[in-house]
Amino acid sequence: MDMMSKLTISASMLLTGFVIVFSVLVFLIFIIWLMGKIVTGAQNSITDRKKQKVKESLKKPEVKAEVEKPRTALKPVKSDTGVSDEVIAVISAAVYSMYGSKEKVRIKSINKSSSRSAWANAGVLKNTRPF
């Protein structure tokens, strides 16, 4: 084999290698771009559905023409543990706002928690948890 044929074979191998490498890179770029479009479309559809649910939940409820019967007065909760009436009223309002007016909720007792704070209790539970 003479020198010219060796250079021709080397040049054709080099050119073939460059073409294959760059065509695979372009193909990978296209696949990554396509996957990005698919994921973005899926995320947009999820956010659109969430926005639609929020819009539906914000619609004003229909106003009923019926007048509700007055409720009978409930007996006040008596606290022997030293909890003030204001605290009992706040706790009752919080429970009422959580359950709404359709549920029948009754507070039976209100007790003070232990002397530790919630953070201290969390620390004790974390450090004494068995393996």
Check: CB of residue 101 under 8 Å from CB of residue 72: no
| The model's pTM | 0.39
The domain locations on the chain are 1-56, 78-108
Query: What was the pLDDT predicted at 116?
Result: 80
Structure tokens at 58: 């914000």
Q: Cα angle vertex 81, ends 75, 85, to 5°? A: 50
What digits encode the pLDDT tens for the residues 45-80?
Answer: 999 998 888 888 777 666 555 555 555 555 665 656
